Amino acid sequence: MDLALLWPAGLLALAALAVPLLLHLRRATEARRVEFAALRWLSPRQRPRRRLRLREWLLLLLRLLLVALVALLMAGPARVPGGQAPPEVLVAISLHAAAARSALPGLPPDTRWRWLAPGLPLLDGSEDFASATPPALASLLREADARAPVGALLHVVVPPVVDGADGERPRLAHPVRWHVLPAPTPAPESVIATPTLVLQAEPGDSAAIATLRAVAQAWMPAGATEVAPLVVAGLSDALPPTDRWLVRVDDSVASPALEDWVRAGGTALLVPRHASAARATHDADADASVVAWRRADGTALARVRTLGRGRFVLLQHPLEAAAFPELLDAGFPRDLQALLDARDPASTQAPADALRPVAGGPRFPPVPAPLAPWLAVAAAGVLLLERWLATRLRREAGP
Amino acid sequence: MASRLEIPLELRARLPQLRLAARRALGVQGFGQHASRSRGAGMEFAQYRPYAPGDEPRQIDWKLFARSDRHYVREAERDSPLTAWLLFDLSASMRQGDAARADWTRLDAACVAGACLAELATRQGDRIGALGIGEAGLRLVPAAQGPRHRDRLLLALQDWQAQGGWPNEAALRPAWARLRAGDLVIAFGDGFDEAMVSLLVKLAAARREVVFVQVLTAEERDFPYRGGQRFVDAETGAELLGDGPSTRDAFLQAFARARAALDARLDAAGIRHAVAWLDRPLDEPLRALFPARASRLAPAPA
């Protein structure tokens, strides 16, 4: 750690040190006037010695200190990190903290242990990190590399299969030790947990209900024996929680309550009952929505309208094979799931070795930490002390 | 400014140790405590003279008649009251005081000492007057006797201010008419003015008994200044920059020489003198000059 000045020319303000010095100089010409009748016996040759004398040393010292502090403030002192920094250990969040600690013995005690999670939190104790979503590991590695002090050695502890890879192998500036630990738990499969489907339709619309029941059953994992979770409700029933997918088979436009529900994070699939109604109803939304699914000839099959944190998926045709031949396609459930699922379907899983960073990343110059706030506090303290000394009672008149 | 009307209590308590006595000055008419040339019924034998018609028979010295068979009249010198004058230097240098006691100037000290002498004179029945010599000329309180006159004199002293320099000779001429031969003149001043010293010497030479109380400040004795000072003479306005410690020795030597020269000159003129320091009790010079137990017949100093 070194001290540096961001603007060394500010030290020229140290010339102002002369001001309090001059103020405190007791000039010989300001001698006290004394009535003295026996003047004729005074020797006129004895001039007063022009010795420089200073008054009120303590006050003068305080003022010099104050001026020096202000000059230093102008020069912008900063602490430049450097030298030997302690190593950092970055642990993937799917690992146990205790396992990571026991895998890396012999590290200096000032080693900083961090989770590879957003914000790079420190490992406190041996608690495991609880998180629902897998973080973007490669991006976090780059962030940790940029934030690590100069010269620090990075230990990265990952399971054999890591999640959160992206398009490029991380290119880091710091030297990296890559440790692969056996995964404590089998990595979760990439099956997206399908939210429960809530179907709101008129009771007589059995064709649409049957179709959607079949779709929900198709979303079940292979070999599942239980019935797909599908809740059938009336059009006027209460809206489900926003983590369910809502399907409305209805010709009317979305009600304000439904829009609020979507805005709060819900996903709603609006299915028209009649082909004519579909056009009339959904043309109004055409400018606010984008076509998300189209036929080979360009005809729009579904549009997606994002609203707040949620989305409307607007099917352009009723669920009838005559108007919607893709309904009969074997890939229809998968396509519909991809439409409803907002998450990026691209896989981010990779073997740990595929993510091993390479050297030669961009080296960020160390950021100097300005010391101005501390100096300003010190200067304010000195100023208060100086004012107290200068204005206290029982003080001779002077500077 | 300290009140010049009031004599401090401790000083008043020591007044009985003082006696306003002259060595050469002579009393005038009336009955008093001082020797005079007036013949009368006194204790002090003056002379025998032949009886002349008209003398009272009880004045005839009958024992001498028995020895010599002639009538002689025994004559004695009558004790008479004295006329004392307080002469004040009212030049600006009398305004000076010590820094340690800023409201106690030379003039204050002189006036309080003068008040003591006025009190003494009143108790002894002597006549006392006051004379101030300053820039404006002569200020006069005629000599008289009694408590009422004493109060009048003290009241006049209260108003006197020290200002300016010494007047010229012509302004002093009325003083010679007032201070008559045989009077006691008690002068207060700093003795720095040549004009005042020469006036005192002339008065002494003209058969006035002159006593000089030189009022000096403690700073003139000790020179306690530190650092650079701007010394100002109040009378001439002259200024001098000086450094305290480095000037001190030279000043003290020069000042001691000047005081020795002045003492010698006063002694030669037959002027008794004493120094009243501003930081010392005022009765010290008064007791040196007017002791109560002094012999009335002590010869005047040569």
Q: B220: which chain A residues are within 8 Å (Cβ-Cβ)?
A: 37-38
For tokens 């059009």, name the residue: A235
How distant is the Cα of B8 from the closest Cα of chain A, in angstroms? 27
Q: A32: which chain B residues are within 8 Å (Cβ-Cβ)?
A: 227-230
Range of weakest confidence among A13-27, A298-312, A385-399: A385-399
Which residues are CB-neighbours of B150 under 8 A, at least 6 positions away? B118, B119, B121, B122, B128
pLDDT at A216 over 80: yes
For tokens 């990779």, name the residue: A350
**Is A46 within 8 Å of B246 when comparing Cβ atoms?**
yes
B302 falls in which pLDDT band (50, 70, 90)? very low
* Segment A278-292, tens digit of pLDDT: 555 555 556 677 888
- Mean per-residue pLDDT for A44-73? 80
Rounded CA-CA distance A120/A113 in Å is: 9
Q: What is the mean pLDDT of chain A?
A: 80
Sheet holding A230-233: strands in order across? A230-233, A197-200, A245-249, A267-271, A310-315, A300-307, A290-294
Q: Helices B106-124 and B147-159 sit at what angle, rounded to 10 degrees?
A: 170
- Please, what's the largest Cα pairwise distance for chain A? 135
Instruction: Kindly provide the residue ranges of all beta strands, DSSP E only, lying in B64-221, ordered along the sequence.
Output: 72-80, 83-89, 97-98, 101-105, 127-134, 137-144, 184-189, 209-216
* Segment A338-347, tens digit of pLDDT: 888 766 556 6
**Is A48 within 8 Å of B231 when comparing Cβ atoms?**
no
B271, B208 contact by CB (below 8 A): no
- Mean per-residue pLDDT for A151-167? 84
B295 falls in which pLDDT band (50, 70, 90)? very low
pLDDT at A253 over 60: yes
Q: Which of A355-364, B11-20, B209-218 has the highest mean pLDDT?
A: B209-218
Is B238 in the A-facing interface, judged by CB distances under 8 Å?
yes
> What residues of chain A, 38 to 77, have a C-beta less than 8 Å from chain B?
38-44, 46-49, 53
- Mean per-residue pLDDT for A81-95? 80
Q: How far is CA B215 from CA A253, B107, B208, B288, in A?
A: 120, 8, 21, 14
Q: How far is CA A115 from CA A100, A135, A230, in A?
A: 11, 11, 39
Q: What is the mean pLDDT of chain B?
A: 85
B30 falls in which pLDDT band (50, 70, 90)? low
Is A343 in the B-facing interface, judged by CB distances under 8 Å?
no
Residue B67 host element (H or E): helix B62-68
**Which of B106, B221, B247, B277 is the best residue to mutate to test the A interface, defined by the most A CB atoms within 10 Å of its own CB?**
B247
Query: Which residue stretches of A179-268 are H helix?
Result: 206-219, 256-263
B66 falls in which pLDDT band (50, 70, 90)? very high
pLDDT at B297 over 50: no
**Is B243 within 8 Å of A32 when comparing Cβ atoms?**
no
Closest chain A residue to B221, measured at CA: A38
Question: Given this model, what pLDDT does residue B300 score?
Answer: 45
How distant is the Cα of A30 from the closest Cα of chain B, in angstroms? 8
pTM of the predicted model as reported, rounded to 2 decimal places? 0.49
Q: Which of A24-38, A344-358, A366-380, B257-271 has the highest mean pLDDT?
A: B257-271
Look up the ipTM and state it: 0.71
Q: B230: which chain A residues are within 8 Å (Cβ-Cβ)?
A: 31-34
A322, A288 contact by CB (below 8 A): no
* Segment B221-276, tens digit of pLDDT: 988 887 777 888 888 888 887 777 778 888 899 999 999 999 999 999 999 999 99
Q: B229: which chain A residues are within 8 Å (Cβ-Cβ)?
A: 31-34, 48
Pairing of strands B239-243, B228-232: antiparallel
Which structure tokens are listed for A260?
């609020």
Is A32 in the B-facing interface, judged by CB distances under 8 Å?
yes
